[in-house]
Amino acid sequence: MLDETLTRAKQKMIGLKQTQRALEREHERIQSVYIAVDAEAHVLRPVISLCQTHHIRIIRVPTMRELGQACGIEVGAATVAILKE
């Protein structure tokens, strides 16, 4: 089970494109980024790089399916960014 920060977060960006866009445009609002370990490495590389550049905590999750379910969606998610409240 994922930690409760993800399931209780009121503001989050779900999905690779939304997470990457948030990291590029409003990185100061991001608290942490969840990344599914089973997502393809070349797809995750830009998000991981942006997180390292902006010193944003990365939390690894075993599967995309598990990450999607934690966000309340029926499909998998490669990444999710949690925004500060």
**Structure confidence by residue, pLDDT tens digits, 2-26:** 667 787 888 999 999 999 999 999 9
For the entire predicted model, the pTM comes to 0.93
Domain count across the chain: 1
Domain that holds residue 21: 4-83
DSSP string, 17-65: HHHHHHHHH-GGGEEEEEEETTS-HHHHHHHHHHHHHTT-EEEEES-HH
Q: What's the CATH number where 70 sits?
A: 3.30.1330.30
What confidence score (pLDDT) does residue 7 get? Answer: 79
**Structure confidence by residue, pLDDT tens digits, 27-57:** 999 999 999 999 999 999 999 999 999 999 9
